Chain A
């Protein structure tokens, strides 16, 4: 949204969120170290560090991957999405400490380069039980490094949202690598079933959330609008749309958000220019449509961001007929001003007060 790149917009909400992340990490590390010292007092500092950071990173990764589908299933989770990148970078830091110390402890004591040792010390690629699982973790860490390094809006703008989003979808590949890293690595030597159950529960939760959210989106996309008139489709009743909010309709492959504000309906493309966020799930703030993901704003009548910002989205024609909303899915060029549809107020009949109707 900014015309110049700033390091981070440290607003109050982000500060609170970051303190919560830091506090949780400190709490987790303290509890994990404390329990390990009680139940396994012979554990070395390196082992403790490797295990603490690995489990914390895995937990954070599950939280991060849950946020997307949770927001699609319930809007109350949107504040988490707004701050997700900080959580991602924190997770990468934990994973990097785990990876770094693992390479140090398991591969730096010989006379072979530790990174070479990582790949040549075990070549049982055909065995599941003896599979070189550390290489899987290494590649996952490389993906996390790439994602953390390109997490700033500078890269989003220069790579374009489409490329950036595609790149960041590699987090799913990293997740697969991590699960396999744990399953063919630690789990092969770990006798406590709790670890296996936790990982299985985490994966099952993620899969369920993503499939449920995906199914919901498909249902939205497959809605049929039968009534048609001069290129307009009947989509809903005027009363179905709340004031300063929108309803989203998918007609002819793309989603359109119809906002109601100050007695008028306006239709804009539902895809935010920042990270392709769902504009229609946002609300009108200070007269501007505000994307729920990262707060990018657009004027409802022309789809332009308020000056000095330069983002624009397409606009559409909308009209009201007999209390129903009719929408034309043919887009106007981005930033084209449209009059919208004025909601005519129903006349209020004021009856004179007489002794008979008291």
Chain B
């Protein structure tokens, strides 16, 4: 149970560091990935470096507009950099896309980190209505018109 979620995603990109989730992102890079040398043939930090190479979130149903909210208690949790930032930003509800912009990371990377935070209980999805009521669509129309 504990081993499988951290296994390499079949689509994962090469990651030379230790795939342990607790590994800081500045782990020593191997021959293929130059994280902070900048002089190798690939000077760009590979996007899924932040997720230990995983490209699939533990949690399904994370749309780009899904709103997330963190419990205030999560602020004192021992989280690494990106996760901590997400928990800080989500003290007010924030969407996956907003987080991707704030952290300058691809959506897929945010989905993986957010999925972990939800699994660990630091983050919760702000549940949405399955179908928007007609009155709400009318409200959208009227608010847009009034912009």
Query: Do A and B bind?
Result: no
